Amino acid sequence: MMLRKALKHYLIDNLAAVILIVFGTITWSITMVKSGLFYSFGLGFWGPNGHDGVWHIAMAEALSRGSFDIPIFAGEAIKNYHVGYDALLAVLHRITFLPTSVLYFQIIPPILALLVGVATYKFVYRWRKSRMQAFWSTFFVYFGGNFGWIVTLLREGQLGGESMFWSQQAISTLINPPFALSIVLMLLGLMLLTKHLKRPTTKYFLFVTFLFGILLQIKVYAGILSLGGLLVAGIYEFLKDKKINLLKVFGGSLLLSSLLFLLFSKSSVSLLVFQPFWFLETMMGFSDRFYWPRFAEAMVNYKLAGNLIKGIPAYTVAFFIFIIGNLGTRLVKDIWIFRKLRDFKNLYFIEIFIFSVIAAGIVLPMVFLQKGTPWNTIQFIYYSLTFSGILAGVWLGEFIEKSRLNTTLLYGIVVVIALLTIPTTIGTLRHYLPRRPPAKLSYQELGALKFLSNQPRGIVLTYPFDKDAADAAVANPPRPLYLYESTAYVSAFSGQPVYLEDEVNLDITGYDWGARREKVEEFLEARDQGLAKKFLKDNNISYIYWIKDQRAALSESELEIEKIFENKEVDIFRVN
């Protein structure tokens, strides 16, 4: 009874926050929960879920079987990849017996969205002791958007432009679930660290060290930024108070991170390349970004000519467009930051940590790219935007609390800021609300993959992804996954290791998939029966999964493969 009354009073006292968190959870979840469900055409996949979601399912399926081999490149161990979220997904699958796809699309996303909102509100309230500031911080974390919608409204007469300045915005958080989970862990870590610094104990030290230490395996970008934030805050604490509590936490977290890193990331250092300002140049030059081609051409020409007098101002303008465009109304946080920096000697460790994360999240992608998939390092800035949203809410809440403006004007300012913030969310949701998604997995393929999942474990050979055919099918959604992108769908929905698929993630993780694809193409074109059979034997191929119009130059009898499954769309062969 006492607990029920306490909960009732808490909900009443925080009614506005409860409503905001529920609405934010529903809004975020829309981007996920429709995917992976059954429709008249099969399983549907909205947004990037046809690639990214399928990849996580494939990884979780492999991990749930106790395998640390990468499922899309049979015979090779997982490397250069943060497995934390997929390992969690695998454990939940084993515990609950629920399908991995149901956990990934329908169950975990609302839980993560709820946890992000609750963690944000609790963190800011404990830090600032203000429900108003906590409310608005939660608002910006859920609904923070860029100014791309202004550009698309002027150019095309519609709301859009979520990634016009390269970074995704708040509405797309759940399509990157490791990112959402990392935000929860970072905020929880900061709350526990606050308690530890007030009354240092071994228990809190171990908890905090564990949370920050595992971040590198949840989301590598979060791990790097958090360790950097702890280091800067620790140095500040030592110089100011001659204490090393934060440096101890940094050291413990670094040690745990390093051990996990060495276990799963054998060559990650080589994946980063030094290429300053690539995001600025492509933001200006790519037609699917901000696109100011004459400005982009001038920038690059100044750079090539070594013309610093014109080049520095040009790149500076591009950088401000990048920052202002991405931050949107979250720019108001700079007012609060500047005010805090004037009293630099009295900053709290949380402020130092957040300032460091925001700054590093912006600087690192300006300098480094990732081999194979250069745009991947833009994910550093996701954390800059999230924590900028928290500070924007702190500023707005404080502004409301301390303002001497008349009520009408004050409410007017707040409403304008809110109305300028949410169009990105509205524009992006249009991609997730239509009845027909961009990608599907037909019932025929589902039946074939179900059959394959019940066969003895063995390596599956699939047909190489055909980009030209995929581009030709764009006008007829939903496209089958094999005509959508190079995805991990065969391993994801059969649970079998595949010789080669999802070239996108193989690029990201640094595997030499090009050589393997050449071997597959040589096999498909081979007229020499001995060489073709040798390929199958040398690579331990057990099954061949082909869509009806996919075949090799040699016949099934010449390859000595036996058809074990057939329907209107798929043939599956066993290699004898």
| Tens digit of each residue's pLDDT (9 = 90 or more) over 25-75 | 999 999 999 999 999 999 999 988 999 999 999 999 999 998 889 999 998
Q: pLDDT value at position 455?
A: 94
The strand order across the sheet containing 570-575 reads 459-462, 541-547, 570-575, 561-566
Q: Give the amino acid at 396.
A: L
Judging by DSSP bridges, how do beta strands 459-462 and 541-547 pair with one another? parallel
Q: pLDDT value at position 503?
A: 93
pTM of the model: 0.91
More confident residue, 193 or 13: 193
Helix (H) / strand (E) containing 477: none
Per-residue pLDDT tens over the stretch 144-168: 999 999 999 999 999 999 999 999 9
- pLDDT at 309 exceeding the cut of 50: yes
Q: pLDDT value at position 7?
A: 47
Interval 366-371 mean pLDDT: 87
Q: Alpha-carbon torsion 174, 175, 177, 178, what sign?
A: negative
Domain ranges, ordered by start, for the chain? 2-33+79-429, 443-575
Interval 212-221 mean pLDDT: 92
Q: pLDDT value at position 19?
A: 95
Per-residue pLDDT tens over the stretch 379-427: 999 999 999 999 999 999 999 998 888 888 999 999 999 999 999 999 9
- pLDDT at 242 exceeding the cut of 60: yes
DSSP symbol at 433: S
Interval 333-358 mean pLDDT: 92
- pLDDT at 199 exceeding the cut of 90: no
- pLDDT at 432 exceeding the cut of 70: yes
pLDDT band at 269 (very low <50, low <70, confident <90, very high): very low
Burial (CB count within 10 angstroms: exposed 0-12, middle 13-18, buried 19+), residue 99: middle
Per-residue pLDDT tens over the stretch 456-492: 999 999 999 999 999 888 878 899 999 999 999 999 9
- pLDDT at 319 exceeding the cut of 90: yes
Measured distance CA(5)–CA(21) in Å, rounded: 21
Q: pLDDT value at position 9?
A: 52
Mean pLDDT of the chain: 91
Per-residue pLDDT tens over the stretch 108-141: 999 999 999 999 999 999 999 999 999 999 999 9
Specify the residue for token string 């809110």. Answer: 418
Per-residue pLDDT tens over the stretch 85-100: 999 999 999 999 999 9
Interval 356-368 mean pLDDT: 95
Q: pLDDT value at position 312?
A: 93
- pLDDT at 4 exceeding the cut of 90: no
pLDDT band at 434 (very low <50, low <70, confident <90, very high): confident
Strands (E), 105-203: none
Q: pLDDT value at position 1?
A: 55
Interval 421-435 mean pLDDT: 90
pLDDT band at 13 (very low <50, low <70, confident <90, very high): low
**Three-class HEC string of 302-326:** HHHHCCHHHHHHHHHHHHHHHHHHH
Kindly list the distances between the CA atom of residue 528 and the CA atoms of 83, 505, 531, 537, 562, in Å, as whole numbers in the listed order: 41, 32, 5, 15, 19
Structure tokens, 209: 């060290």
- pLDDT at 264 exceeding the cut of 70: no
Measured distance CA(281)–CA(292) in Å, rounded: 10
How would you label 433-442 residue by residue, b for 16+ Cβ within 10 Å and e otherwise? eeeebbbbbb
Specify the residue for token string 């009293």. Answer: 343
Q: Is 530 helix (H, G, I), strand (E, B) or coil?
A: helix
Q: pLDDT value at position 268?
A: 47
- Of all residues in the chain, the percent with pLDDT exceeding 90 is 75
Q: Where does 443-575 sit in CATH, by number?
A: 3.40.50
Query: Which residues neighbour 339 within 8 Å (Cβ) at sequence distance 6 or greater?
Result: none
Q: pLDDT value at position 273?
A: 84
